[in-house]
Amino acid sequence: MGKYSLRPTLDTSEPLLLLNQNNNTRWNPFAMGGGTAASPPYVAAAEGEDSHRKVLAEMDLFSTRNQISNKVVVKNENFHANDLDVNMGLNLLTTRSDRSLVGDGISSNGDENRTTNKLANLQNELQKMNIENQRLKEMYLQVSNNYNALQMHLVTLMQQQEQELRNESIHNQDQKVDHQDSVTVPRQFMELGQSTNEMTSRDSSSEEKTRSGSALNALELSKNVDRDSKTIGREDTPDSDVWMSNKAPKLAIPENVEQTNEATMRKVRVSVRARSEAPMITDGCQWRKYGQKMAKGNPCPRAYYRCTMAAGCPVRKQVQRWADDQTILITTYEGTHNHPLPPAAVAMASTTSAAATMLLSGSISSADGFMNPNLLAHTIRPNSSSIATISASAPFPTITLDLTHPPNTFQGPNGSIPFDHGHQPASQFSPPPFAMPLQAFHHHGGGGDTQYNQSRFSGLQLSNNKVYNQPPQFHQSQPQVSLSNSLSAATAAIAADPNFTAALAAAITSIMGGGNGSNIIPSNNNETNNTYGSKHDQ
C-alpha cells in the first residue's frame, strides 16, 4: 500500500543529522559544486532507505484533509527549490493507486459510478499529493537548515585555516601596520584590538585607553558580569561566575586576560544570513525568547533569545528577517557558551566563535581599521558561494556570514546575489562550494545602500587590486597564495573523506581547543538530535 506513492518521502519527524558522527548517512556538500546539483533533499533521498521505512510506518495519509489549501504554498516552495527535486513526489503519486478496490465492484455498474469512483480516487490522490508536498516542504526546511549549518561548518574550517596561516606571517603584518598613523578608529574596535594584541594606539583621543587598556576592559567585563549575574540570580543560585570559572583555569592565562577575552567576545557579534522560511535557523541550541522589538528601518520585528542550555550561559542571539528580502533570516550571535554543546549545536557555535575570534584577531593586525574608520568590510572572494563580511561599525564589531546563495549557484526566487554590485558577473565562473568570498563594501545603515570600499583584510591577506579582477583563485599578496590553494585542496580532501564528520570533529576540536572557550561534547551521542529537538532548539 502506498509504497510507491510514498517513495520520495523522507522522514521529517526528526531532524536530518547531516553532521552527526554516528550517522552513516552523510551528505557531502562538496558534491554540489561541479554541476552535479546534488542538493540536500536529493542526496538524502538517495541514501535514506531507513527513512523510507520509517515514513511508511508512521505516516497518516488522511490525518489532514484540509491541506489542499496549502497548494499555493507548496508551489512556491517548489519554485524556491526547483532544483532540489522537491516536486518529485508529484509524479510518483499518480503512478500508482493503492485503491485497487476501485476497479473491482465497478465493472458491473454504469459509467457514472465508474467516473464517480474515479473522481474520488483522484481526490484521494490529490490529498495525498498535498500531504506529501507538505511533508516535502517540511523536509526542505529541515534540509536547508542543516545545509546552512554545514555550510557554516565549512566556513569555520576555512577561517581557522586561514587564521593559522595568517598567524605564521603575523609579524610581517605588524610591521605594515606600524606606519599607519593619526587616524581615528572606532573606540570599540580599538579596545578589541588592544585586548587581543599589543597594538599601540597613536591616536591622542584614545591615549587614555591605551594607557589603561586592561583596566578598561576589566571595567567592561565587570559590567557584563554584573548584568549576567543579575540575570542568573533570578534563575539560579550564585553560580554567576560559572562561565568564568570553568575557563580561566583551563588555559593557564592570566585571569584578566581571559576576562578581557570574555568581555570582548560578548561584544563581538556574528551575524548569519540564511535563506529560511522557518522562524529560526537550526543551530542545535535551546533558546528562550526574552524580548521582541520593532527595529528601526525594518518592518519585521527583531526577536531576542538567550541560550537556556545551561544556567547563566551568556550567549544571546537576535533573529530578524531582512527588510529587503524577507525570506532571508538574519541571526546574530553574541557571546560564548559556558557549557558543553550537543553535536548538533557545534556547527553554529564553532562557526560563530571562530568568526568572532577571526574578527578580533583581524582587527589587530589589519590596516583596514585605519583606512575605514567607521566600518571595516572585507570580501575574500567576489561572486562566490558564501560571503563573510566584517564590519566594525559601532557599537559592535560584527562579522556577517552570508549563506543565502548556495554553492550550486541555485538562487532563490529573487535570484539576486546580495552585495554583488556588478563587479563580476556571477555567471562567469562557478566557484567551488567551499569558497568563501569577501567583498569589500561600505554600507550605510539601510543595507541596500552599499558602496565599494576596497580594503585588505589582514587575516586573509587580500590584495586590493587583485580581488575583483581575478575571481577564480584566491589572490593573496603574500605567501598565502599557495596557502589558499592547499586550503581548497584540504577542504576538498576532507569532503571526500569517508570519515568526513570525524575530520570535521577533529578540526572543530582543534578550533575550540584553540582557546575561544566553547566546550564540545565528545560527539558520540545519537540522541542529541531529538533531545534538543523540541521548541526553539533550532
Site residues, DNA (CB under 7 A): 227, 230-231, 234, 286-293, 295-297, 302-305, 308, 316, 318, 395-396, 535-536
**How many C-beta atoms surround the C-beta of residue 394 within 10 A?**
12
- Answer with the entry of DNA, Zn ion, none that 307 interacts with (C-beta below 5 to 8 A by kind): Zn ion
Dist CA 499 CA 95 (whole Å): 39
* Nearest residue (CB) to DNA, 129 versus 242: 242
How many CB atoms sit inside 10 A of residue 513's CB?
Answer: 13
User: How many other C-beta atoms are found inside a 10 Å radius of the C-beta of residue 307?
Assistant: 24
Helix (H) or strand (E) holding 321: strand 316-321
Q: Binding Zn ion by CB under 5 A: which of 6, 44, 155, 315?
A: 315
CB under 5 A: which stretch of 36-44, 97-105, 143-151, 300-308 binds Zn ion? 300-308
- Minimum CB separation of residue 291 from DNA in Å reads 3
444 binds, among Zn ion, DNA, none (CB under 5 to 8 A by kind): none
Task: Identify which of residues 201 and 439 has a Cβ nearer to DNA in the complex.
Answer: 201
Owner of C-alpha cell 484540509: 66
State the binding partner of 313 from Zn ion, DNA, none, CB within 5 to 8 A by kind.
Zn ion
Helix (H) or strand (E) holding 399: strand 398-403
Instruction: Return all residues near 405 (Cβ < 8 A) that are at least 6 apart.
Output: 385, 386, 411, 412, 417, 418
**Single residue of 307, 347, 435, 483 touching Zn ion by CB under 5 A:** 307
- Of 492-521, which residues contact Zn ion (CB under 5 A)? none
Kindly state the smallest distance separating residue 7's Cβ from DNA, in Å: 31
Taking CB under 5 A as the criterion, the residue among 190, 309, 328, 508 binding Zn ion is 309
Near Zn ion by CB under 5 A, which window of 44-52, 294-302, 309-317, 462-470?
A: 309-317
Could you give the CA distance from residue 235 to residue 329 in angstroms, rounded to a whole number?
A: 30
* Dist CA 98 CA 77 (whole Å): 27
337 is a contact residue toward Zn ion (CB under 5 A): yes
* Closer to DNA by Cβ: residue 100 or 534: 534
Residue 286 binds what, of Zn ion, DNA, none (CB under 5 to 8 Å, by partner type)?
A: DNA
Closest distance of CB 341 from Zn ion, Å? 7
Quote the CA–CA distance of 121 and 100 in Å, as a whole number: 10
Q: Which is nearer to Zn ion, 352 or 480 (CB)?
A: 352
Residues whose CB falls within 8 Å of the CB of residue 421, separated by 6 or more in sequence, listed in order = 439, 441, 450, 452
CB of 299 to DNA, least distance (A): 13
79 binds, among DNA, Zn ion, none (CB under 5 to 8 A by kind): none
Answer whether 368's CB lies under 8 Å from 358's CB. no
166/269 with CB nearer DNA: 269
Residue whose CB is less far from Zn ion, 139 or 344: 344
Question: Which grid coordinates are listed for 202?
Answer: 597613536
- In this complex, which beta carbon is closest to DNA, that of residue 75 or of residue 293? 293
d(CA 164, CA 188): 25
Is the previous residue joined to 395 through a cis bond, with omega within 30 degrees of 0? yes
Between 312 and 517, name the residue whose CB sits nearer to DNA. 312
Residue (of 260, 266, 265) closest to 195 by Cα position: 260
Q: Residue numbers of the site for Zn ion (CB under 5 A)?
A: 307, 309, 313, 315, 337
